[in-house]
Amino acid sequence: MNVILLVVTFGLDITKMERLLLIACSFLLLVVELLNTAIETVVDRISLELHPLSKRAKDLGGAARLVAVIMTIIIWGTVLLGG
């Protein structure tokens, strides 16, 4: 998804600052996705049995990803709709 967003960024008729904001937002989303994957991998590596702290770590990683996705949608929407 991030690759598509980055390619689309260069086809839009927007200012350099808007383009930079969209690119930064896309990279931030990628970083959060990578960190979420790292958290899930570490938790699974430690133990596959269910534990409340393992669940909490995975849930918080997923929540961070959700917040990043919502932020991306809001920023892209604002730039594209000229808000």
Q: Report residue 83's pLDDT band, with 50, 70 and 90 as the boundaries.
A: low
CA atoms in the 13 A half-sphere facing the CB of 36: 18
Give per-residue pLDDT as tens, 9-21: 889 999 999 999 9
Q: Which class for 22: exposed (0-12), middle (13-18), buried (19 or more C-beta within 10 A)? A: buried
Please, where are the H alpha helices in 1-83? 2-11, 16-46, 52-81
Give per-residue pLDDT as tens, 27-61: 999 999 999 999 999 999 998 888 999 999 999 99
Is 40 annotated as belonging to a binding site? yes
Is 33 annotated as belonging to a binding site? yes
Q: Three-class SS of residue 7?
A: helix
Is 18 annotated as belonging to a binding site? no
Amino acid occupying residue 23: I
pTM, entire model: 0.85
Could you give the residue numbers annotated as active site? 33
